[in-house]
Chain A
Amino acid sequence: MHVVILGNGIAGITAARFIRKLSDHDITVISAETDHFFSRTALMYIYMGHMRYEDTKPYEDWFWDKNRIKLLNAYIERIDFDAKTLFGSQGEELVYDKLLLATGSAPNKFGWPGQNLKGVSGLYSYQDLQNMEHFSEGLQRAVIVGGGLIGMEMAEMFHSRHIPVTFLVREDSYWNMVLPPEESAMANRHILENGIGLRLSTELKEIVDDGQGRACAVITNTGERIECGYVGLTAGVHPNIGFLKGTSLETGRGILANEYLETNIPDVYAAGDCVQLREPQPGRRPIEAVWYTGRMAGETAAYNICGHQVPYDPGIWFNSAKFIDIEYQVYGDLQAQPPENHVSIYWEHPDGRKSIRLVYDREEGHVLGFNLMGVRYRHEVCEKWIREKAHIEAVLQDLGIANFDPEFYKEYDDEVVRLYNQQSGRNLQLKKRRGLAGALRFLRNPLSA
């Protein structure tokens, strides 16, 4: 059987690896971006000089040959689902028995005047990075439009080269659709203390042409004109499915797929950023464009392609990012505008660069989520507490086992407990401190809840 995978990102590659483990099928992975799988999440580090492109490849180049995974660098323009054939832009034709669509995302553009000028670009692909590099030479100022994670990364990238940055954020506080107000404020402060020109409640109206087809300034909704040589568009992404429109494949914003990641067409599956789940799990969004879900979906797709029926189950939500020098981790249900039944304890370090937030249910008292800034928590421990609906007070007393900061770091878990005691009039004690043994004991005990 010939399995063709369109897209060599984390979703497509995870699928290919698992298909190889599960079967002896012929596997071909197609991408027009790079010959080999690389880590998109590390694009910024190439620009900042922390790594080279080579270093972002999770597998050495011989890996593919050894595992009999055929790589094809081609741009697929059209798919004939009836003939089970893909057509490349150079006249390539490829017949599949089963097809996995893992085509990823593309940056959003909202029809701004001047959005297609030279020196205007999103940051998604390796080519985007090269483009950014190209325009960085002699660059006097960059403007970034859109206050999400990629915007933040782009700001840090320019900042690392001492290129002045103006960062336009539509909201009145950075990423406050996701971050609770205190964490969002912390991010604002950190952006500013790095000398990045953060403009909150500011939107892009127009990008100005310098007369030669290149961006030379932006005009904001307040009418301000900011001179710049590069405009980064980082106002989110959408599934990259343009070339699939008008086929028999059912799509919404993304490729519609059921819980087995099957599309409406037999033998055609989808995974990763490009998928729109028909029935996402409760509390989850139909499109989740993150690395982790791409990895899990790739693995799930592999099972289903190889004939094991395995539904896609992304488990309890988790994510992480870094705001320049502040690490961020989240586990479970954490909302910027929390519903009635969510209560949280929020502790913040006096230096204003670390915080711990625990969210729990007002009535039942079970823990719902963790939000960490500048502090690391153990994924599995948090997940188990949430899954088993551990009571907030039980969690607080054991909080140390969740701590994942390096040895010798100060542990703040007792301060969180103290804060809870203050707010609730209780008198809890932190009973467990940081350490692997305690965590293992907890994780291995099936009856811990």
Chain B
Amino acid sequence: MEFLQKTGLGLFIIALLLFTATLGLDNYRLTEESLTQAIGNPYHLEEMIAVAREQGQLGKEYGSSFEFGAAFKELLKAAQESLNQKAKDGLPEGVSQWDYKMGGWLFKDYTFVATKKSSAGPVSGNPLFFFFLTIGLAILGGVLFILPKFLAIPGIKHNQIYHNPMTRGLKLGWRSFFLGATMIGLLLYGVYYMNDSYFWPAVTALVALFISALVLFYQNQAKRTPARSASPQVTGWLGMLAGAYLIGFYILLYWVPQHITGWILMVDPVSRALNGGEASQWFLYGLLYTLVILVMGVRMLTKYMHNRYQIVRTFSVMFFQVAFAFLIPEILVRLNLPSMDLKNIWPLNYTFFFDWNINKLISSGALGIFMLVWGIVLVIVAVPVITYFFGKRWYCSWVCGCGGLAETLGDPYRQLSDKSLRAWHYERWIIHGVLAFAVVMTGMTLYTYFSGEKTVLSFNSNTVRTWYGFIIGSAFAGVVGTGFYPLMGNRVWCRFGCPLAAYLGLVQRFKSRFRITTNGGQCISCGNCSTYCEMGIDVRWYAQRGQDVVRASCVGCGVCAAVCPRGVLRLENSSMDVKERTEVVRVLHVSREGVKLRD
């Protein structure tokens, strides 16, 4: 058993190293053909070929995507310049200058496809071989590591979590460093992303400072340093490495996918088999995401063999990921139908009300209209009604893809969430702030959609959308949301950022049958429940005073109830006491009438 596990771990590490190395194996050589595949616009293509030939770049070989990218950027700039010049001298008959000139926003796509098409070498030559050698081997290693765990005696297995450099978490100082550096880095990158406009990054920075000031000074949290530091000598260095790797992965994936074409080439055959087309970075991401949820889902099953709630729930997230998030959209693409993740609900799915999406759906016949209506019904009927009956868990820990990843890949890190009151204050401002941002942004979008205007109160709706997509959709949800698993726990996005979670949470807090019941006076204040609450809820605080837990943030993962050594907690629904469910403090064992008292 131990041998199998060690082998598995070894194979996984080898696979991960190889996977990383595949990015450097291919060479890059620009050809007329690769340019043709990358650039659809005939004027742009012609100009690029001309410029490339003139500068002697055609056929020239580069050893890394970075050198290639730098050279390619020069070409793009030269071509753009030259097209601008030519446009001044007169456009070809019947061609608008928008079609003729090369806008800077096209650079990203051109670069990505050109890089992918220019790769030559072992990976692009044998994509399937490398797919199995890296991703396949990682799965094998993972499975070998995980499966023997089914042989253990069923029960909570948290031994040595806080002795493990991967899962022990960071000292407060290190955590603050990662958080601060990531935020500053992302905002600076945002300036570049917004074409050197400082406005929205500056606004965001001001909002962040404002919230910090509110929490620290107005809510008096400045001196209440959370006691959440790891062991004083060393900290979770493996976790830091893992976090850095994940952060790097997301940055490459979202903003400079031309540097991960090796990985994308590897999954091309899979993509072709599924949807008939080549893989984009999103296909790579979707595939990896699904595989990770499946493998780590099996790990969840081994860990909670004895707990049917966890088993059913884990199967549910695996199912929704495989079917709804991955296969159905791919099949729809293959059938040339509008593709949509039917369980992705606005405002998490923030592009749902964007003009291009609405137009796409309206123009794709009955299925498109169905999808439009479906999406709207989810927001205004399904969310409040199902949440009334079961709490927000029906979505957050049973259906949602972000939740699915958090509950599988993220499970080893759930203890790293910050349980301090200070963190709770931050949480409420930030998550409701994001919800407000999403609502305003969508409102502007719809206003411009129906009115045909470009701006709302002199703010350009398009720019606001772009910034939302960058700072919330990518930076927060992805880079911080997943990259921070080993640094701040597995639900950073769900807890602090997700606008849908905020909406579900409001329903759960004010109008739902759901709560976590406390079993009389059985709590021994041990703290397992709070420690393993991924949402950072101090469950013990309620349990030890005999109060049921009703919190907007609770995603109903059920782990508090699973880890409680005294059988104190149970996730339950009842309509009998929806109003008082937050108030009742039931265990007052000084049981004389008249001295009843509440905290």
Chain A positions within 8 Å of B, measured between CB atoms, are: 10, 17-18, 21-22, 39, 41-42, 45, 48-52, 54-58, 60-62, 160-161, 193-194, 291-292, 295-296, 299-300, 303, 308, 310-311, 313-315, 318, 320-322, 324-325, 327, 329, 376, 378-380, 383, 404-410, 435-437, 440-441
Contact = CB atoms under 8 A, between A and B. Distances in A.
B565 A379 contact: no
A410 B527 contact: no
A310 B540 CA distance: 27
Given A50-B159, A440-B577, A314 B589 contact: yes
A312 B565 CA distance: 27
B527 A39 contact: yes
14 contacts: A54-B229, A57-B527, A58-B527, A60-B421, A61-B224, A61-B227, A160-B159, A161-B159, A296-B521, A329-B567, A406-B308, A410-B308, A436-B517, A440-B576
Contacts of A52: 162, 230-231
B592 interface: yes
Contact of A54 (B159, B164, B227, B308): B227
A60 B524 contact: no
Given A325-B155, A325-B306, 18 more contacts: A50-B158, A54-B229, A55-B530, A61-B227, A161-B160, A311-B592, A322-B566, A325-B153, A376-B519, A379-B519, A379-B520, A404-B519, A404-B570, A406-B561, A407-B308, A407-B571, A436-B574, A437-B575
B531 interface: yes
B245 interface: no
A313 B531 CA distance: 32
Most buried by B among A17, A49, A325, A406: A406
Contacts of B163: 49
B526 A42 contact: yes
A327 B312 CA distance: 22
Interface of B: 153-156, 158-164, 223-224, 226-231, 306-309, 311-312, 415, 420-421, 517, 519-522, 524-528, 530-531, 540-541, 544, 558, 561-562, 565-567, 570-577, 586-587, 589-592, 595, 597, 599
A48 B531 CA distance: 14
A315 B595 contact: no
Contacts of A325: 153-156, 306
B543 to A, nearest CB: 10
**What are the 8 tightest A-B residue pairs by CB atom distance, in nearest-first order?**
A379-B520, A325-B155, A376-B567, A42-B526, A408-B308, A436-B572, A436-B574, A49-B160
Contacts of B162: 49-52
Contacts of B572: 407, 435-436
Contacts of A409: 307-309
Contacts of B229: 54
Most buried by A among B224, B227, B229, B522: B522
Contacts of A318: 520-522
A77 to B, nearest CB: 29
Given A39-B526, A408-B309, A322 B565 contact: yes
Contacts of B307: 406, 409
A322 to B, nearest CB: 4
Contacts of B520: 318, 378-380, 383
A129 to B, nearest CB: 14
A51 B158 CA distance: 9
Contacts of B161: 49-50
Contact of B309 (A45, A295, A406, A441): A406
Given A313-B590, A322-B565, A407-B309, A57 B227 contact: yes
A444 B347 CA distance: 41
Contact of A55 (B312, B531, B575): B531
Contact of B228 (A45, A54, A308): A54
Contacts of B156: 325
A324 B155 contact: yes
B159 A60 contact: no
A51 B527 contact: yes
B160 A48 contact: yes
Given A55-B530, A440-B577, A48 B158 contact: yes
B397 to A, nearest CB: 13
Given A303-B590, A409-B309, A49 B522 contact: no
Contacts of B224: 60-62
Most buried by B among A57, A291, A308, A404: A404
Given A49-B162, A313-B590, A292 B521 contact: yes
Contacts of B597: 18, 21-22
B394 to A, nearest CB: 12
A21 to B, nearest CB: 6
Contacts of A437: 574-576
A311 B591 CA distance: 10
Most buried by A among B541, B558, B587: B587
Contacts of B571: 406-407
A441 B577 CA distance: 10
A171 B358 CA distance: 75
A76 B371 CA distance: 73
B567 A404 contact: yes
A243 B570 CA distance: 44
Contacts of B589: 292, 295-296, 299, 313-315
B158 A58 contact: no
A39 B528 CA distance: 11
B525 A41 contact: yes
Contacts of B311: 408
Contacts of A18: 597
Nearest to A156: B159
Contacts of A60: 224, 226-227, 420-421
Contacts of B527: 39, 42, 45, 51, 55-58
A380 B227 contact: no
Contacts of A435: 572, 574
Contact of B528 (A51, A193, A405): A51
B592 A313 contact: yes
B558 to A, nearest CB: 6
Nearest to A299: B590
Contact of A310 (B155, B230, B522, B590): B590
Nearest to A376: B567
Given A21-B597, A58-B527, A320 B566 contact: yes
B526 A56 contact: yes
